[in-house]
Amino acid sequence: SKKIVIKIGSNTIANADGTICREFLQGLAKQVNFLMKQGKQIVIVSSGARIAGVSTIGKWMRKEDMHYKQALCAIGQVELMDAYRKAFETQQLHIGQMLLTREDFCDAHRTLNIRNTLFTLVDEGVVPVVNENDTVSVDEIRIGDNDTLAALTANLWNADLLILFSDIDGIYDKNPKENKSAKLVEEVKSINQLIKNIEIGDVNSFGTGGISTKIEAARTVNDYGIPMILTNGKKENILLKLLEDKEKATIFW
Ligand code: ADP
Pocket flag, ligand 1, residue 11 (CB < 6 Å) = yes
Q: Which residues contact 245 (CB under 8 A, 6 or more apart)?
A: none
Average pLDDT over every residue of 164-188: 94
One-letter amino acid identity for 184?
A: L
CA distance 46 to 150: 9
pLDDT at 189 over 70: yes
- pLDDT grade for 118, boundaries at 50, 70 and 90: very high
- Whole-prediction pTM: 0.94
pLDDT at 67: 84
| Higher-confidence position of 212 and 69 | 212
Query: Ligand 1 mean position to 177 CA, how many Å?
Result: 8
Query: Ligand 1 mean position to 7 CA, how many Å?
Result: 14
Q: How many CB atoms lie within 10 A of CB 219?
A: 15
Query: Ligand 1 mean position to 124 CA, how many Å?
Result: 35
Rounded to two decimals, the ipTM of the complex is 0.95
pLDDT at 207 over 70: no
Of 160, 83, 92, whose CA–CA distance to 125 is shortest? 92
Using the atom order of ligand 1, give the atom closest to the CA of residue 198: 23
Q: Is residue 28 classed exposed, middle or buried when 0-12, 13-18 and 19+ CB atoms within 10 A define those classes?
A: buried
CA distance 181 to 137: 40
Pocket test for ligand 1, best of 175, 183, 228 (most atoms within 8 A of CB): 175
Tally the residues of the chain: 253
| Higher-confidence position of 92 and 67 | 92
- pLDDT grade for 144, boundaries at 50, 70 and 90: confident
Q: Which residues contact 144 (CB under 8 A, 6 or more apart)?
A: 132, 208, 209
Pocket flag, ligand 1, residue 128 (CB < 6 Å) = no
Residue 241 zone, left/alpha/beta (φ > 0; ψ -120 to 50; rest):
alpha
- pLDDT grade for 68, boundaries at 50, 70 and 90: confident
Share of residues in the chain with pLDDT > 70 (%) = 95
In this structure, of 97-106, 119-128, 135-144, the range with the lowest mean pLDDT score is: 135-144
Pocket test for ligand 1, best of 45, 162, 167, 195 (most atoms within 8 A of CB): 167
Pocket flag, ligand 1, residue 144 (CB < 6 Å) = no
pLDDT by residue (tens digit) across 28-57? 999 999 999 999 999 999 999 989 998 888
Query: Ligand 1 mean position to 203 CA, how many Å?
Result: 6
Beta pairing, strands 41-46 & 127-132: parallel
DSSP symbols for 184-238: EE-EES-HHHHHHHS------TT-SSHHHHHHHHHHHHHTTT--EEEEETTSTTH
Pocket flag, ligand 1, residue 101 (CB < 6 Å) = no
